[in-house]
Amino acid sequence: MERTYIKDLGKSEGQEVVIKGWVDVRRDQGKLVFFDFRDMSGKVQGVILPNQTEAHEVAKDVRPEWVLEVRGKVNKRPEKNVQADKQNGDIELEILGIKVLASAKELPFSSDADLNLDTLLDYRPLTLRRDREQNIFRAQNVIMQAYREYLDRQGFTEFQAPRIVGDDAEGGAGIFKIEYLYGHPAYLSTSPQLYKQMMTGVFERVYTTGPQFRAEKHATSRHLNELTMLDFEMAFVNDHTDVMKMISGTLRHIALTLQEKAKNELAYFKVEATMAPEIFPSMKLREAQELIKKETGKDCTNEPDLEPEDERWLCEYANKNLNSDFIIITHYPTSKRPFYTMDDPEDPGFTKSFDVLFRGVEIVSGSQRVHEYEMLIEKMKSKGLDPEKFSFYLMAFKYGLAPHGGIGLGLERLTEKFLGIENVKEATLFPRDINRIDSLLSK
Ligand code: ATP
Ligand code: MG
């Protein structure tokens, strides 16, 4: 008999079916044995009635995580047992036969408990099977699809950036050194920045997604050492505000797509609908600092950057006063931004750069980039970088790049904030941090 997916069982009421999947929960009640079964499409309750001696015999050792092929009859549940809010809450599978496809050891944690972060990560191949984790990564998948969908519609071309690089692009973020062939040093990229820019000379509008590496010893709830960056870069911009429009549109599309395609996942985390206007509200860094001073008394007006508590305050302000869960802060000082960032001639010392803050944290950095060859070389020198080392990248500029700008967005932080979870590591399948690469480094 052909396999029926669990989500489709309701259509087979009164019929015999075969399902394949895992045991989620086992409950023994006198002579009845109940199971919740799980496959890629959902869950259903099954029961072995007392007269099914053969099935009882096979089932006697079966525990959570055993993989089974189950033959059974789909029955309507008596009215009093219907659980209307649950998938398959109105039916039950009367088990007629069980074939064991794989046995499983007893789980090292209680599957319905609230697990702490260490346990979640220590047993990652198993904890990922839980409802909560499945919901996180299903929602993340929708975010990825929506990101691609929006930019595809805007005429962007996706490309694959290399991850092994000859030098440090940002000159700021910590970088992992690796040993390349013949003893040559090489590095793991911290951002696809330079390649995106070169690619604007090819396709004008490009985006790329994938892992980037930061060799920083952070112990925060928002930093990973390997993250997934969603980057885009677009040519023929007038200035950074064109990029701000594009990222507003992208994030709004992601928010709306989640509300449509990840309804259950959002409901699981009980998050409020995201307020994402067509163009996100924005203010200059200096204006934001003045606002903080005026409203809270905290004077950060001479600081070159926002502290985490400032970012949280600004997001609460936007949520309460600007009908937006996103706020864009522009014009960070030249000293704080990478060499490829365009200065604003109308605001000396400040750049045509911005960060997007979402529910208390920076999720995006972007800017208009320097596209003139001579100016770029000057900017590199002023940051203490050797243009010789960038000759490959500079070739693109020497031979004409259009005015352009773009952004980098962290997928894990975005997922975390959309779902209202606590730590970016929970929104990462297999996080790399100061303590672990899968297992603890100290082991
Ligand atoms: P932060 O100041 O929060 O450390 P950053 O300014 O160094 O971040 P960028 O280099 O601007 O980060 O990277 C662009 C985006 O990539 C960030 O806005 C964030 O969403 C994400 N990101 C950067 N570094 C990390 C990291 N270590 N862990 C998780 N996400 C990150
Ligand atoms: Mg940044």
pLDDT digits (tens, 9 = 90+) for 25-50: 999 999 999 999 999 999 999 999 99
- 354 lies in the same domain as 270: yes
- Which of 67, 102, 137 finishes a domain? 102
pLDDT of residue 170: 59
Q: What is the largest CA-CA distance in the chain?
A: 86
Residue 58 predicted with pLDDT over 90: yes
Q: Is 424 in the pocket of ligand 1 (CB under 6 A)?
A: yes
- Domain with residue 43: its CATH number is 2.40.50.140
- How many angstroms is it from 261 CA to the middle of ligand 2? 29
142 neighbors 308 (Cβ within 8 angstroms): no
Q: Is residue 115 part of a domain?
A: no
- How many angstroms is it from 173 CA to the middle of ligand 2? 10
Task: Determine which residue's CA is closest to atom 26 belonging to ligand 1.
Answer: 223
Q: Which domain holds residue 233?
A: 121-440
Using pLDDT thresholds of 50, 70 and 90, give the confidence band for residue 237: very high
Q: Is 229 in the pocket of ligand 1 (CB under 6 A)?
A: yes
Q: Is 227 in the pocket of ligand 1 (CB under 6 A)?
A: yes
- 135 lies in the same domain as 167: yes
Across 302-320, average pLDDT: 97
- 55 lies in the same domain as 173: no
Strand partners, 100: 68
What's the whole-number average pLDDT of the chain? 96
Atom index in ligand 1 nearest the CA of residue 305 equals 2
Q: Is residue 394 part of a domain?
A: yes
- Which of 45, 72, 102 finishes a domain? 102
- 239 lies in the same domain as 270: yes
- Domain with residue 189: its CATH number is 3.30.930.10
Q: Is residue 107 part of a domain?
A: no
pLDDT of residue 167: 74
410 CB neighbour count, 10 Å cutoff: 24
Residue 169 predicted with pLDDT over 60: no
Residue range 299-309, pLDDT digits in tens: 999 999 999 99
Which residue, among 437, 431, 443, has the nearest Cα to 137 in the 3D structure? 431
- 96 lies in the same domain as 198: no
pLDDT of residue 110: 84
Using pLDDT thresholds of 50, 70 and 90, give the confidence band for residue 292: very high
Q: Is residue 1 part of a domain?
A: no
Residues that are catalytic: 214, 216, 222-223, 362, 365, 413
Residue range 350-383, pLDDT digits in tens: 999 999 999 999 999 999 999 999 999 999 999 9
- 219 lies in the same domain as 364: yes
Q: Is residue 416 part of a domain?
A: yes
Task: Determine which residue's CA is closest to atom 22 belonging to ligand 1.
Answer: 410
Which one of the ligands is nearest to 216 CA? Answer: 1
Q: How many domains does the chain have?
A: 2
- 191 lies in the same domain as 139: yes
- 25 lies in the same domain as 126: no
Of the listed ranges 43-57, 164-178, 262-276, the least confidently predicted one is 164-178
Q: Is residue 381 part of a domain?
A: yes
- Which of 72, 102, 132 finishes a domain? 102
Q: Is residue 109 part of a domain?
A: no
Across 329-341, average pLDDT: 97
Q: Is residue 116 part of a domain?
A: no
- 91 lies in the same domain as 155: no
- 64 lies in the same domain as 186: no
Task: Determine which residue's CA is closest to atom 5 belonging to ligand 1.
Answer: 365
- 247 lies in the same domain as 391: yes
Backbone CA torsion sign across 256, 257, 262, 264:
positive
Residue 232 predicted with pLDDT over 70: yes
Which residue, among 326, 317, 173, has the nearest Cα to 247 in the 3D structure? 326
